[in-house]
Amino acid sequence: MGPLHGFKIIEIAGIGPSQFCGMLLADMGAEILRIERPQVAEDGISIPTKFNLMNRSRQTLAVDLKKPEGVDLLLTLCKSADALFEGFRPGVMERMGLGPEECLQQNEALVYGRMTGWGQEGPLATTAGHDGDYIALVGALAAIGEKDRPPSVPLNLVGDFGGGGAFLAIGILAALLAAGRSGEGQVVDAAMTDGAASLMTMFYGLRAGGLWSEARGNNFLDGGAPFYRSYATSDKQSVMVCALEGRFYREFLRILSIEDIDPVAQHDRSTWPTLTHRLESTFATKTRDEWCDLFAGSDACFAPILSMSDAITHPHNQARNTFVEVDGITQPAPAPRFSRSESEIRHPPTNPIKPTAAILKAWNVPDSDIDGWLKSGAVDS
């Protein structure tokens, strides 16, 4: 049983960041009831249930929130819930009669989480957007990529999952702690722009101190430094070098048998282009595996750049069970890890579960109300 065992949370089904938040909380043991709209046509990429891994570890119930009976059901569920979170544009839940005011009237200790791209207010609050838009607006995207080229579009880790879902999960957990002491719930306004900006805090500090250039590919953490970047190998693979600190840089040079470079001049940027070209030529002389053998066990901060397939079979990841197999699908294991109340993937993603009556009873919904909601068609039975 994970550390959140005993907490009941309602998830209004969404994609991306709120979905990731639900996975994190469910893997940590929270009993999450995922409320999904019945038979909604997909507008975009449709992922078969089995492979929609971020829906793992929790039950799904199909409820038509456009019907009054569906709204009444959700408000009733709020009475037994510790938290609820949603990922609609601002105002959508209010128009359905399910905004924070209505839900907190049912349960004053309820934590109400809101996941949006732009936040609940501001000039862009009601406009559409995606991960790339949000990280573009806060300076994160401009810092990613090679010099003299447009910014590289990263995986949606910075906005959706880092600045979005992870921050929503942190906010919900903090609000649950506060509610446990005060008996009062509150609204958690998690915007991906806010979260992504928070992730950039260190870089804004470096910029203010004159230690960071806004020109891409010219800094010590963005691929500009020869000791912190990737290199191609002779077999068309790649390796990553992160010899940032002096002692690691000295070890890096020692392993490469480079003796004519003064490690004290590591941060002399005038030397970077020449050293980069030299290292590019050096790493092109051996295969990725040959370099791995040479750097094995060292403190040179070296790693092979692995594909997802290779990552699954790497000895370190296997030793830590970083990836696990559930229902025939290899996937990342829950994180972080706990010494006593261990997280787990309780079951693979599921379609809406039937019979729904058993689920509703577990959430303390009266039998008399269950019959009425099932007959109304607001709940998929």
Q: Domain spans of the chain?
A: 8-199+326-376, 228-319
- Please give the pLDDT value at position 311: 98
Which has the minimum average pLDDT: 47-51, 192-196, 361-365? 361-365
Residue 234 clears pLDDT 60, i.e. is over it = yes
User: Rg of the Cα trace of the chain?
Assistant: 25
244 neighbors 227 (Cβ within 8 angstroms): yes
Q: Directed axis angle between helix 192-199 and helix 201-208, to 10°?
A: 50
Residue 40 pLDDT grade (very low, low, confident, very high; cuts 50, 70, 90): low
- Please give the pLDDT value at position 373: 81
Residue 353 clears pLDDT 80, i.e. is over it = no
Residue 285 pLDDT grade (very low, low, confident, very high; cuts 50, 70, 90): very high
What single-letter DSSP state applies at residue 89? P
Instruction: Tell me how far apart the alpha carbons of residues 235 and 290 are, in angstroms, rounded to a whole number.
Output: 10
Average pLDDT, the chain: 95
Q: How far is CA 309 from the centre of its chain?
A: 20
Q: How many residues does the chain have?
A: 381
Contacts of 64 (CB under 8 A, 6+ apart): 37, 38, 70, 377, 378, 379
115 neighbors 14 (Cβ within 8 angstroms): yes
Q: Which of 219, 225, 165 is nearest to 196 (CA)?
A: 165
Residue 381 clears pLDDT 70, i.e. is over it = no
Residue 176 clears pLDDT 70, i.e. is over it = yes
Q: How far is CA 89 from the centre of its chain?
A: 19
From residue 311, give the alpha-carbon distance in Å to each of 139, 158, 321.
30, 21, 11
- Please give the pLDDT value at position 380: 75
Instruction: Tell me how far apart the alpha carbons of residues 12 and 19 are, in angstroms, rounded to a whole number.
Output: 9
Higher pLDDT, 72 or 377: 72
Question: Do the first three CATH levels of 8-199+326-376 and 228-319 match, i.e. the same topology?
Answer: no
- Please give the pLDDT value at position 300: 98
Q: 39: phi > 0 → left, psi -120 to 50 → alpha, else beta; which? A: left
> Which CATH number applies to 8-199+326-376?
3.40.50.10540
Contacts of 194 (CB under 8 A, 6+ apart): 119, 163, 167
Q: Which of 164, 172, 186 is nearest to 119 (CA)?
A: 164
Indicate which residue of 130, 267, 277, 347 is catalytic. Answer: 130
Instruction: Tell me how far apart the alpha carbons of residues 194 and 188 are, in angstroms, rounded to a whole number.
Output: 12
Indicate which residue of 27, 64, 82, 160 is catalytic. Answer: 160
CATH architecture observed for domain 228-319: 2-Layer Sandwich (3.30)
> Structure pTM?
0.95
Q: Which of 256, 200, 267, 251 is nearest to 231 (CA)?
A: 256
Residue with tokens 């002692």: 247
Residue 75 pLDDT grade (very low, low, confident, very high; cuts 50, 70, 90): very high
**Cis preceding linkage at 336, omega within 30:** yes
| Residue 316 annotated among the catalytic residues of the structure | no
For the segment 6-21, the average pLDDT, to the nearest whole number, is 96
Contacts of 330 (CB under 8 A, 6+ apart): 312, 323, 324
Instruction: Tell me how far apart the alpha carbons of residues 301 and 281 are, in angstroms, rounded to a whole number.
Output: 19
| Residue 130 annotated among the catalytic residues of the structure | yes
Residue 41 clears pLDDT 60, i.e. is over it = no
